[in-house]
A and B are shown apart, each in its own frame.
Chain A
Amino acid sequence: MRLNVNVVVNGRSHALEVGAHETLSDVLRERLGLTGCKVACDQSVCGACTILVDGDPVSACSTFMFKVDDSKITTVEGLAAGGVLTRVQEAFLQDGAFQCGFCTSGMILLVTALLARDPNPDDATVQQWLSSNICRCTGYNSILAAVRRASAGLRTEAAA
Chain B
Amino acid sequence: MTHSHTQESDTYFRAFRKKATGQSVYTFDVVLPFMLHGKLLRSPHAHARIKSIDASKALAMDGVSCVVTGADLAELADPYYGVGLRDQPVIAIDRVRYVGDVVAAVCAVDENTAYRALQQIVVDYEPLLSVMTPSAALMDDAPVLFDTPTRGVSPVIGAGSAYKIDPAPNVLYEYTFGYGDVDRALDSAHALFTDTFEIGRINHFHLEPYVNVARWTGSQVEFWSCNQDPFVLRADVARIFGLPVTDVRIRTPLIGGGFGGKSYCKMEPLVALMSRKAGAPVRLALSMDESMLTLVKHPASLTLTTGVDKQGLLLGRRADITLDGGAYSDASTLVAIKTGFRIGGPYRWQAIDSRARIVRTNTIPSGSFRGFGGTQASWASERQIDMIARRLGHDPVAFRKRNLLKAGEPFAPNDRGIDLDLAAGFDRLIASMPARTKGRGQGVAIGIKDAGGTGNHGQALVRVNQSGQVCVSTATVDIGQGAPSAMCRIATEVLGLPRNTAVYASVDTEHNPPDNGTHVSCATMITGLAVEAAARDALQQVLAFAASQLGCTADDITLEGWLVRHGGALHPLEPMIRKYFGGIGWEFIGRGAFKEPYAPATPMGAENVSWMPCWSGAEVEVDEETGQVRVLSLVVGSDAGRALDMGTCIGQVEGAAAQAFAQAMFEEMRYRGDQPDNATPLAYRVPRVADMPQDFRAFVMESRLGVGPGGLKGIGEAGMLGIAAAIANAIEDATGASLTKTPFTPERVLAALDARQAPDIAASK
A residues near B (Cβ < 8 Å) are 21, 29, 34-43, 45-46, 48, 75-77, 79-80, 85, 89, 92-105, 108, 126-128, 130-134, 136-145
| Chain A, residue nearest B22 (CB) | A36
**Contact indicator B688/A93 (Cβ below 8 Å):** no
| A102 surroundings in chain B (CB, below 8 A) | 26, 28, 206-208, 256-257
Q: Could you name 9 residue pairs across A and B whose Cβ atoms are closer than 8 Å?
A: A35-B25, A92-B20, A99-B652, A100-B254, A101-B24, A101-B254, A127-B689, A137-B651, A141-B697
**Contact indicator B288/A40 (Cβ below 8 Å):** yes
**Contact indicator A136/B2 (Cβ below 8 Å):** no
| Distance A141 CA – B13 CA, assembled complex (angstroms) | 19
Interface size bucket, B side?
35 or more
CB distance from A31 to the nearest CB of B (A): 12
Q: Which of A100, A139, A143 contacts B256 (CB 8 A)?
A: A100
B29 CB within 8 Å of chain A: yes
| B657 surroundings in chain A (CB, below 8 A) | 139
CB distance from A59 to the nearest CB of B (A): 12
CB distance from B675 to the nearest CB of A (A): 19
**Contact indicator A38/B28 (Cβ below 8 Å):** yes
CB distance from A33 to the nearest CB of B (A): 9
| Distance A131 CA – B698 CA, assembled complex (angstroms) | 21
Known: A38-B207, A96-B648. 17 other contacts (CB 8 A): A40-B208, A40-B209, A80-B20, A85-B17, A85-B20, A85-B21, A100-B208, A100-B258, A100-B480, A101-B256, A104-B19, A105-B22, A131-B688, A132-B688, A139-B655, A139-B696, A142-B2
B residues near A (Cβ < 8 Å) are 1-5, 13, 16-26, 28-29, 112, 204-209, 254-259, 287-288, 479-482, 647-648, 651-652, 654-655, 657-659, 680-682, 686-692, 696-698
**Contact indicator B655/A138 (Cβ below 8 Å):** yes
CB distance from B76 to the nearest CB of A (A): 31
**Contact indicator A93/B690 (Cβ below 8 Å):** no
| B4 surroundings in chain A (CB, below 8 A) | 94-96
| Distance A130 CA – B288 CA, assembled complex (angstroms) | 21
Q: A38-B28, A40-B209, A103-B207 are in contact. Are A145 and B16 (CB under 8 A)?
A: no
| Distance A79 CA – B21 CA, assembled complex (angstroms) | 7
CB distance from A137 to the nearest CB of B (A): 5
**Contact indicator A139/B647 (Cβ below 8 Å):** no
**Contact indicator A100/B22 (Cβ below 8 Å):** no
| B26 surroundings in chain A (CB, below 8 A) | 38, 102
Which of A29, A92, A141 has the largest number of chain B CB atoms within 10 A?
A: A141
**Contact indicator B22/A99 (Cβ below 8 Å):** no
| B205 surroundings in chain A (CB, below 8 A) | 134, 136
9 A-B pairs with the lowest CB-CB distances in the bound complex, closest first: A36-B22, A100-B480, A139-B658, A102-B256, A101-B19, A99-B480, A41-B681, A76-B22, A139-B654
**Contact indicator A99/B20 (Cβ below 8 Å):** no
CB distance from A42 to the nearest CB of B (A): 6
| A29 surroundings in chain B (CB, below 8 A) | 29
**Contact indicator B688/A134 (Cβ below 8 Å):** yes
| Chain A, residue nearest B19 (CB) | A101
| Chain A, residue nearest B254 (CB) | A101
| Distance A140 CA – B686 CA, assembled complex (angstroms) | 12
| B17 surroundings in chain A (CB, below 8 A) | 85, 93
**Contact indicator A99/B651 (Cβ below 8 Å):** yes
| B16 surroundings in chain A (CB, below 8 A) | 92-93, 96, 98, 101
Q: A40-B288, A136-B686 are in contact. Are A142 and B257 (CB under 8 A)?
A: no
CB distance from B646 to the nearest CB of A (A): 10
| Chain B, residue nearest A88 (CB) | B20
Q: A38-B207, A94-B5 are in contact. Are A136 and B255 (CB under 8 A)?
A: no
**Contact indicator A38/B208 (Cβ below 8 Å):** yes
| Distance A145 CA – B650 CA, assembled complex (angstroms) | 13
**Contact indicator B2/A89 (Cβ below 8 Å):** no
**Contact indicator A77/B21 (Cβ below 8 Å):** yes
Q: A93-B5, A136-B207, A136-B686 are in contact. Are A45 and B22 (CB under 8 A)?
A: no
| Distance A137 CA – B256 CA, assembled complex (angstroms) | 10
| Chain B, residue nearest A103 (CB) | B207
**Contact indicator A96/B259 (Cβ below 8 Å):** no
| B25 surroundings in chain A (CB, below 8 A) | 35
Q: A43-B681, A138-B651, A139-B657 are in contact. Are A35 and B22 (CB under 8 A)?
A: yes
| Distance A20 CA – B532 CA, assembled complex (angstroms) | 56
| Chain A, residue nearest B661 (CB) | A139
| Distance A64 CA – B112 CA, assembled complex (angstroms) | 15
Q: A40-B208, A96-B3, A139-B696 are in contact. Are A134 and B22 (CB under 8 A)?
A: no
